Amino acid sequence: MKAKMILEKDFQVGEVDKRIFGSFIEHLGRAVYGGIYEPGHPTADEDGFRQDVLELVKELQVPIVRYPGGNFLSGYNWEDGIGPREERPRRLELAWRTIETNEVGVNEFMDWTKKANAEAMMAVNLGTRGIDAARTLVEYCNHPSGTYWSDLRRSHGYEEPHKIKVWCLGNEMDGPWQIGHKTAHEYGRIALETAKVMKWVDPTIELVACGSSNSGMRTFPEWEATVLEHTYDYVDYISLHTYYGNPDNDTPNFLASSLDMDQFIKTVIATADYVKAKKRSNKTINLSFDEWNVWFHSHAQDRELEPWQVAPPQLEDVYTHEDALVVGTLLISLLKHCHRVKIACQAQLVNVIAPIMTENMGPAWKQTIYYPYLHASQFGRGTVLQPLIQSPKYDSKRFSDVPYLEAIAVKNDEDHVTIFAVNRSLDKQLELETDLRGFSDFVLLEHIVLEHTDCKATNTKEHPNNVVPHHNGKTAIVGNIARSILPALSWNVIRLKRK
């Protein structure tokens, strides 16, 4: 099979906001306890944070981490997580049917983000709580001093304000599973009033309104239109969430999941711009894709779990090679829409549907999906180019005209260009001819490939290096033309540099 791509210097989609390589930590399963935090672990630092995990997070260069949920958020009292640890309450956590010890709260999380070189994306509870708890949390975190809540923070040992810039107004409020689920009008009203007051406390913050929990929701996209009609002047982003899976073992169909993500993003852009037109506004609402990933492997196991445990193993998907390819195509989709998607969080970061896995008191290792995330975060910053692609196509159960080649290119700087490409074919290599017009004086730096003979191959504690990338990809450049071989079922990172 053959495919062609043309790259022109001046055909650009837009600048990548590095926050599209964000992640998410929820008080859920072993994400916090046993994930980022495990006092007593051999690598734990003086604050109880696992340094083996921190090293991996730093390697991923995660720029922003959403916290503390997720469904957890909608029953959370943030005040439970501040002050002396021994006085913090243990609570029934109703979203995930566990016990929350509150050993980690907002201050500890902020300590951790500093160590991880990441920014926090904080969320306020609009399920059981509302305006008051949101405004006091912003005051506690961001007001310098001289008021009840800011001085309380100082008394807890945090003299300087945390200066948290990005805040989410609740979580998945359109979903009946959410504590305090609301109609679009109910949510739109409370989100507006909360946003207004949060920005009165700190006018420098940016706010994310809840969009739909996924594009399959019956209320999508009317939800987005109604919510934005209420909140347009006070919010900066509308959120999108989506998870994909392969429960029927239909790999060609699963590998086409990014076509759904493309369509979801396009529809939300159109809906936000419809409200903009209706309001005769000059302001543009951007997109925060703050939950996305593959999630399905752990569903059955989670149904068997005994309730009311502390940090049980929940949502612990063990990812396959084909999952990594889907994650690669989803990252390409985010890059393709970088002109409007300014924040995105792979859900989640450690243990819970995550690129990083740990064993309590044991090692940490990289799941298959770690690698496309790593490469995109390392080499996907700069200006996204608008490629012209010709690829053979196939039809799957749900999608028609699925291109075998999914690809995008990023001009990292004047001297570097990176091509990300997935070959969706189960059994055929793809010969890719890239016309590098405008980049005629570029040579190959490296061609990284993630491939495996078994699309169900995984990385485990026992075999952590079963699915790992190699650097022996085949690309040759003659004149303006780069010829690459993309093996069947492969993720490719083709890095070019000026001669």
Among 22, 35, 70, 211, interactor with ligand AHR by CB under 6 A = 70
Residue 109 or 158: which CB sits closer to ligand AHR?
Answer: 109
Among 23, 71, 212, 346, interactor with ligand AHR by CB under 6 A = 71
Among 164, 347, 482, 486, interactor with ligand AHR by CB under 6 A = 347
Distance of alpha carbon 418 from alpha carbon 375, whole angstroms = 10
Contacts of 282 (CB under 8 A, 6+ apart): none
Residue 171 or 257: which CB sits closer to ligand AHR?
Answer: 171
* Closest separation in Å from C-beta 171 to ligand AHR: 5
Report the Cα 237 to chain-centroid distance in Å: 15
181, exposed or middle or buried, with CB in 10 Å at 0-12, 13-18, 19+? middle
Taking CB under 6 A as the binding criterion, the range among 14-22, 68-76, 231-239, 391-399 that sits at the site for ligand AHR is: 68-76
Residue 177 or 200: which CB sits closer to ligand AHR?
Answer: 177
Q: Residue count at the site for ligand AHR (CB under 6 A)?
A: 9
> Applying CB under 6 A, does 69 fall inside the site for ligand AHR?
yes
Residue 184 or 353: which CB sits closer to ligand AHR?
Answer: 353
> Applying CB under 6 A, does 355 fall inside the site for ligand AHR?
no
* Closest separation in Å from C-beta 315 to ligand AHR: 6
Residues from 259 through 318 that contact ligand AHR (CB under 6 A): 291
Distance of alpha carbon 68 from alpha carbon 103, whole angstroms = 13
Among 7, 19, 21, 26, interactor with ligand AHR by CB under 6 A = 26
Active site residues: 172, 291
> Applying CB under 6 A, does 174 fall inside the site for ligand AHR?
no
Tell me whether strands 119-124 and 166-169 are parallel, antiparallel or unpaired: parallel
Residue 198 or 347: which CB sits closer to ligand AHR?
Answer: 347
Among 74, 251, 271, 348, interactor with ligand AHR by CB under 6 A = 348
Taking CB under 6 A as the binding criterion, the range among 66-74, 247-255, 279-287, 304-312 that sits at the site for ligand AHR is: 66-74
Among 102, 171, 346, 391, interactor with ligand AHR by CB under 6 A = 171
Residue 34 or 69: which CB sits closer to ligand AHR?
Answer: 69
Residue 1 or 217: which CB sits closer to ligand AHR?
Answer: 217
249, exposed or middle or buried, with CB in 10 Å at 0-12, 13-18, 19+? exposed
Residue nearest to ligand AHR (CB): 70
> Applying CB under 6 A, does 29 fall inside the site for ligand AHR?
no
Residues contributing to the site for ligand AHR (CB under 6 A): 26, 69-71, 171-172, 291, 347-348
